[in-house]
């Protein structure tokens, strides 16, 4: 039985005449209405934990552009905070967390079954959204993948090469693996509650998967994603899972089966033609227009958008960027991309 919502149809493996479309970071600082609501909330974390305002910013890009999916407004670093890490955001710089570098740091984290005390406002946001979204818009919940979340928990901030996380992995593998296991268990719990609250699809963001080399990629990017997907599928067989191991390059091949995911999200490091032949042959793909076109626009945007649509036109495809839209993007370029995809 074909499903009604286009995103769910693509995730079920259907090839659609026009790919459904949404955009990573679609609620964000390139939108004046986001900046206004964020100013009202105060800081970024207050916005994440305010269900009415978080639902409002989630809905803003749906109202403006009519995207086929809405992604819950939250952050991958709320889970570490719920596990007991200190978290704050430095304006213009990004996240800061208390660091975990040894067993003592790991021991300070709280039990997984207590994370809802912090995260319940997020579930409330999901509930509001499932009431208020248009009937044809799919609600996507999400979490960070364990490796990416661990890179922030170990370093206490974003790092260009994930050096501190690689160092802990190489110098104290038991603590590193115990941290990953804890995040994995927390993620299963967190995503389960999002689904209970009304998320119709979940996505795992592994932004730093590409820095895992050799066997580490299978052990610390693929395996935790497989474990989370399997646990969710056991409880919620009808909920599609999108995995986004960013920077995987040629290792994107075979990931539908290795992870058990319904969809593999592609960054812009692979060409759409390569990905159609090597990844989309196994199932739905999402992506992969370079985000910079949302800044630069014009003929390049139209040409590259058409290239992505064309390359993936013979299989299930959800149109998206290869990474999040940046604050310097022009909202008019987003409309141009959507019109180009929809052939208007």
Catalytic residues: 25, 29, 38, 75, 152
Position 27 contacts ligand CP3 (CB under 6 A) = yes
Nearest CB to ligand CP3, comparing residues 179 and 311 = 179
Position 80 contacts ligand CP3 (CB under 6 A) = no
User: Distance between CA atoms of 153 and 86, rounded to whole angstroms?
Assistant: 10
Q: How far is the CB of 299 from ligand CP3 (least distance, A)?
A: 27
Residue 28, annotated ligand binder? yes
Residue 46, annotated ligand binder? no
- Which one of residues 271, 324, 331, 342 is an interface residue with ligand CP3 (CB under 6 A)? 324
Q: How far is the CB of 140 from ligand CP3 (least distance, A)?
A: 9
Position 142 contacts ligand CP3 (CB under 6 A) = yes
Position 331 contacts ligand CP3 (CB under 6 A) = no
Nearest CB to ligand CP3, comparing residues 54 and 276 = 54
Binding flags for ligand CP3, 156-195, as an x/- string (CB under 6 A): --x-------------------------------------
Position 143 contacts ligand CP3 (CB under 6 A) = no
Instruction: Record the tokens describing residue 343, joined without a space.
Output: 């052939």
User: Distance between CA atoms of 105 and 268, rounded to whole angstroms?
Assistant: 36
Interacting stretch for ligand CP3, rule CB under 6 A, among 20-28, 110-118, 247-255, 294-302?
Answer: 20-28
User: Distance between CA atoms of 234 and 210, rounded to whole angstroms?
Assistant: 28
DSSP string for residues in 289-307: E-TTHHHH-HHHHHHHHHH
Instruction: Record the tokens describing residue 288, joined without a space.
Output: 């992969």
Residue 75, annotated ligand binder? yes
The answer to whether 269 and 209 are in contact (CB under 8 A) is no
Alpha helices (H) in the chain, listed in sequence order? 6-11, 32-41, 44-48, 51-65, 78-82, 103-107, 116-132, 146-155, 163-171, 173-197, 215-216, 223-235, 255, 272-278, 293-296, 298-311, 331-341
Chain-centre distance for alpha carbon 30 = 18
Q: Count the neighbouring beta carbons within 10 Å of the beta carbon of residue 214.
A: 7
Query: Where does this chain bind ligand CP3 (CB under 6 A)?
Result: 24-29, 38, 44, 71, 73-77, 94-95, 142, 144, 158, 205, 207, 324
């Amino acid at each position: 039985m074909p499903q009604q919502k286009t995103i769910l149809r693509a995730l079920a493996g259907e090839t659609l005449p026009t790919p459904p479309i949404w955009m990573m970071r679609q609620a964000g600082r390139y939108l004046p209405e986001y900046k206004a609501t964020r100013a009202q909330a105060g800081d970024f974390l207050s916005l994440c934990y305010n269900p009415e305002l978080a639902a409002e910013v989630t809905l803003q890009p749906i109202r403006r552009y009519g995207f086929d999916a809405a992604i819950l407004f939250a952050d991958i670093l709320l889970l570490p905070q719920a596990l007991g890490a200190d978290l704050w955001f430095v304006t213009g710089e990004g996240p800061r967390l208390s660091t975990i570098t040894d067993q003592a740091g790991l021991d300070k984290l709280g039990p997984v079954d207590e994370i809802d005390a912090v995260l319940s406002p997020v579930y409330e946001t999901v509930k509001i959204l499932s009431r208020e979204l248009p009937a044809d818009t799919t609600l996507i919940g999400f979490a960070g993948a364990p490796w990416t979340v661990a890179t922030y928990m170990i370093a206490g901030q974003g790092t260009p090469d994930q050096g501190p996380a690689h160092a802990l992995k190489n110098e104290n593998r038991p603590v590193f693996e115990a941290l990953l296991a804890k995040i994995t268990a927390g993620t299963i719990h967190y995503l389960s509650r999002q689904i209970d609250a009304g998320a119709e699809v979940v996505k795992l963001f592994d932004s730093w998967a590409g820095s895992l080399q050799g066997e580490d990629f299978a052990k610390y990017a693929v395996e935790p994603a497989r474990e989370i997907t399997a646990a969710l599928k056991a409880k919620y067989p009808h909920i599609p899972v999108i995995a986004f191991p960013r920077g995987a390059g040629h290792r994107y091949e075979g990931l539908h089966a290795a992870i058990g995911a319904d969809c593999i999200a592609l960054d812009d490091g692979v060409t759409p033609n390569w990905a159609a032949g090597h990844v989309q042959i196994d199932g739905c793909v999402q992506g992969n227009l370079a985000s910079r076109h949302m800044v630069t626009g014009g003929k390049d945007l139209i040409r590259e958008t058409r290239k992505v649509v064309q390359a993936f036109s013979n299989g299930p495809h959800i149109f998206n960027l290869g990474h999040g839209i940046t604050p310097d993007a022009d909202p008019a370029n987003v409309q141009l991309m959507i019109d180009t995809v929809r052939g208007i």
